[in-house]
Amino acid sequence: MIDYDYKKPENLEEVFSLLKEYGPKATLIAGGTDVMVKIRNTRKAPEVLISLRGLEDLRYIRKNNDYHIGALTTHRMLEQSDLVKTELSALHDGASEVGSVQIRNVATVGGNICNAAPSADTSGPLLALDATVVLEGPEGRRSLPIADFFTGTYRTVRKAEEVLVEFQIPVEMEGFGSAYWKHSRRKAMELPLLGISVALKLSENKEISDARISLTVAAPTPIRAYKAEEFLKGKPLDDDVLRETGKIASSRDCCSLRDSLRCAAWYREKIIQVFVPRMARLAAERIKN
């Protein structure tokens, strides 16, 4: 029999005091589309669920200097935001691909990242957009690059007493174009076999002046393909350069592909080699003038 208590704090202070009171017996829940599914599938529940849905002031998408996205922002809000679509396009791509409309209406971006599935559709875009994760605990706030947030499959650096409150994306990203490709067998209700995000910027002479590439399901955590990024910088956006970038991104220098029930490693390698170039082209087309 599944049994748990369900707490509905109205502000962060109440969340912190509940976390202190229940410690490891408690689990945070936001949209619930991962937490509830896990409870149903395992038939095991924590003693207490602490809901974050009452923290309405953590649902926002703002641009003031940097971009600020509240942790309780739903995937649907990201999907429908013109600001996200035009200036943080990869994140729009990723958020629009999660589950179904029914799921996106409640599932939050903070939850997607804290759950830390290797296949999370917003993690790759946030990595490529150089997002900073803001955590808040009873002692105050701390920030870290999202690249340092994931420590393993379903594991992060978030401490039990902390809540992820915001993502910040540097304003410099407005000069970049970005794109995310979710490679899957169906068009919806799927997890990616591989996810590829590219964000890049062109100089006046049409050379790539800066680039960020991230891969999901290519390692135990979402990763940046730093060596491939380095290779791109200062080069023209042409077929030879992009083909080589795809090769570097799919090599052991950048990722650790493996065979799984859902996809073979050799196929994942091919996906990266084909779609890194395509996403780079799309990202370049999306650069705002």
Partner 1 sequence: MKKVPVSFTLNGDPVTAEVPITWSLLETLREYFELNGAKKGCGVGECGACTVIVDGDAVSSCLYPIPEIEGKSVTTIEGIASAEGALHPLQKAFIENNGVQCGYCTSGMIMSAKSLLDQNPDPTEDEIRTSIAGNFCRCTGYIQIVEAIGMAAIESDRK
Among 18, 45, 117, 163, which residue sits at the site for partner 1 (rule: CB under 8 A)?
45
Minimum distance, C-beta of residue 101 to partner 1, in the bound complex (Å): 6
Among 187, 240, 261, 289, which residue sits at the site for partner 1 (rule: CB under 8 A)?
187
Does 278 contact partner 1 by CB under 8 A? Answer: no
Minimum distance, C-beta of residue 266 to partner 1, in the bound complex (Å): 29
Q: Which ranges constitute the DSSP H helices of the chain?
A: 12-22, 35-42, 75-80, 82-87, 89-96, 101-104, 109-115, 123-128, 226-232, 239-250, 265-285
Size of residue set near partner 1 by CB under 8 A: 29
Q: Under DSSP, is residue 132 helix (H, G, I), strand (E, B) or coil?
A: strand
Residues 125-164 interacting with partner 1 (rule: CB under 8 A)? none
Minimum distance, C-beta of residue 51 to partner 1, in the bound complex (Å): 7
Does 188 contact partner 1 by CB under 8 A? Answer: yes
Minimum distance, C-beta of residue 168 to partner 1, in the bound complex (Å): 27
Does 27 contact partner 1 by CB under 8 A? Answer: no
Residues 94-113 interacting with partner 1 (rule: CB under 8 A)? 99-103, 105-106
Residue of 222, 223, 224 lying closest to 154 (CA atoms): 222
Q: CA–CA separation, 225 vs 215, rounded Å?
A: 7
Residues 53-72 interacting with partner 1 (rule: CB under 8 A)? 53
Does 37 contact partner 1 by CB under 8 A? Answer: yes
Does 89 contact partner 1 by CB under 8 A? Answer: no
Q: CA–CA separation, 263 vs 266, rounded Å?
A: 9
DSSP 8-state class, residue 140? E
DSSP per residue over 235-286, as a string? SB--HHHHHHHHHHHHSTTT------SS--HHHHHHHHHHHHHHHHHHHHHT
> In this structure, are residues 246 and 229 in contact, taking their beta carbons and an 8 Å threshold?
no
> In this structure, are residues 7 and 49 in contact, taking their beta carbons and an 8 Å threshold?
yes
Q: CA–CA separation, 44 vs 38, rounded Å?
A: 8
Does 51 contact partner 1 by CB under 8 A? Answer: yes
> In this structure, are residues 51 and 36 in contact, taking their beta carbons and an 8 Å threshold?
no
Minimum distance, C-beta of residue 82 to partner 1, in the bound complex (Å): 15
Q: CA–CA separation, 161 vs 186, rounded Å?
A: 38
C-beta atoms surrounding 233 within 10 Å: 13
> Closer to partner 1 at the Cβ: 51 or 209?
51
Minimum distance, C-beta of residue 56 to partner 1, in the bound complex (Å): 12
> Closer to partner 1 at the Cβ: 1 or 261?
1
Minimum distance, C-beta of residue 4 to partner 1, in the bound complex (Å): 6
Among 10, 189, 243, 260, which residue sits at the site for partner 1 (rule: CB under 8 A)?
189
Residue of 63, 26, 45, 48 lying closest to 163 (CA atoms): 26
Per CB under 8 A, which region of 35-43, 191-199, 256-264, 270-278 contacts partner 1? 35-43
> Closer to partner 1 at the Cβ: 50 or 282?
50
Interaction site with partner 1 (CB under 8 A): 1-6, 8, 29, 32-33, 36-37, 40-41, 45, 49, 51, 53, 76, 99-103, 105-106, 187-189
